[in-house]
């Protein structure tokens, strides 16, 4: 069975908009996709190959595996790795003669039987939660739901929270969505930053409402002279907005901007401030 693939939300919004019921929102983890089938409990990669570096973990899980039939779907993570360290994880899990240490899995789906792909996600997630509990193993964790909503604004709000802590983005799953192997459908979507740019700040705009007296947005220019209005996201007093008000002069600085997509006219979709690039001069902007 092929894995189900997530669509980019912004591509759906470019159309008429996603047709979706209430959805559960999850963090998009920067891990390795993996799965195991019961009762074998052999941990496999997305290419349907056993991961030799996890053979000991497979053996350990087999000892306490519940008596069910189906496929448990998860992200493979390693304790101690920093965010955005997928390449390191990739190297560790590709070792053939050495077992990976400090590994754990974050379960996000369970397909009871191949003929039951029509089961709605909310029921599959409940099954997954029961299975995780029955394992009684700290190395098997359930992906926590962050919110349940059918509002795009709520989904972006959750994505902002994940970005603020340095995470990759979110996954949006229609609670009534079916598991559709190998397909990209609107019942499974993602919000993820994919573009990074370095711009020069030319103006600072004060925030409104709760952010009066703080930095609300910055106006930047790129190497071609195009201007970009960049939101400050959900930055807190300690790590951004108010600390810069009158204390740190942003104008003239080079800043790193992350966005979901660069459009044909050179503008950015959903751009947001990431960091000040003290190591770059204005002659190095994009």
pLDDT score of 114: 60
DSSP code for 177: P
Instruction: Compare 210 and 227 and report the one with higher pLDDT.
Output: 227
What is the reported pTM? Answer: 0.73
pLDDT score of 116: 62
Separation CA 190–CA 176 (nearest Å): 17
pLDDT score of 43: 96
Span 172-177, average pLDDT = 95
pLDDT tens digits, 188-203? 999 987 788 889 999 8
pLDDT score of 248: 57
Tokens of 206: 């004060």
Residues of the chain with CATH 2.40.50.140: 195-284
Query: What CATH homologous superfamily does 195-284 map to?
Result: Nucleic acid-binding proteins (2.40.50.140)
Quote the percentage of the chain above a pLDDT of 70.
Answer: 88
Length of the chain as a residue count: 286
Span 169-185, average pLDDT = 91
Mean pLDDT (the chain, rounded):
84
DSSP code for 50: B
Tell which CATH classification among 3.30.470.30, 3.30.70.20, 3.40.50.720, 3.30.365.10 matches the domain 5-191.
3.30.470.30
Q: List all residues 6 or more positions away from 197 whose beta carbon is below 8 Å from its beta carbon.
A: 222, 256, 257, 258, 259, 262, 268, 271, 286
pLDDT score of 19: 64
Q: Where are the beta strands (DSSP E) in the chain?
A: 5-8, 23-27, 32-38, 44-45, 70-78, 103-111, 140-142, 147-149, 169-174, 184-192, 195-206, 215-221, 227-231, 254-259, 261-262, 268-269, 272-276
pLDDT tens digits, 115-164? 567 899 999 999 999 999 999 999 999 999 999 999 999 999 999 899 88
Residues of the chain with CATH 3.30.470.30: 5-191
pLDDT score of 115: 59
* pLDDT for residue 239 is more than 50: no
Tokens of 105: 């899995």
């Amino acid at each position: 069975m092929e894995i189900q693939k997530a669509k980019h939300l912004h591509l759906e919004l470019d159309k008429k908009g996603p047709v979706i019921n209430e959805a559960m929102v999850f963090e998009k983890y920067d891990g390795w996709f993996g799965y195991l089938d019961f009762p074998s409990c052999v941990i496999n990669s997305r290419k349907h190959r056993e991961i030799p570096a996890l053979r000991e973990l497979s053996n350990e899980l087999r000892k306490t595996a519940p008596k069910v039939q189906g496929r448990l779907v998860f992200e493979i993570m390693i304790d101690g790795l920093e965010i955005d360290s997928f390449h390191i994880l990739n190297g560790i899990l590709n070792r053939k003669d050495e077992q990976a240490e400090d590994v754990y899995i974050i379960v996000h789906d369970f397909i009871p039987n191949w003929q039951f792909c029509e089961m709605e996600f909310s029921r599959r997630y409940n099954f997954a939660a029961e299975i995780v509990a029955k394992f009684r193993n700290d190395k098997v964790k359930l992906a926590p739901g962050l919110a349940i909503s059918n509002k795009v604004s709520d989904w972006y709000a959750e994505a902002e929270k994940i970005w603020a802590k340095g995470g990759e983005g979110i996954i949006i799953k229609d609670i009534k969505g079916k598991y559709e192997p190998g397909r990209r459908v609107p019942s499974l979507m993602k919000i993820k930053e994919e573009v990074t740019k370095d711009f020069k700040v030319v103006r600072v705009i004060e925030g409104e409402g709760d952010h009066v007296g703080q930095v609300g947005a910055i106006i930047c220019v790129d190497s071609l002279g195009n201007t970009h209005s960049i939101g400050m996201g959900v930055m807190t007093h300690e790590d951004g907005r108010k600390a810069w008000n009158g204390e740190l002069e942003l104008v003239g600085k080079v800043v790193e901007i992350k966005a979901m997509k660069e459009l044909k006219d050179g503008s950015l979709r959903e751009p947001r401030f990431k960091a000040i690039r003290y190591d770059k001069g204005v002659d190095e902007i994009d």
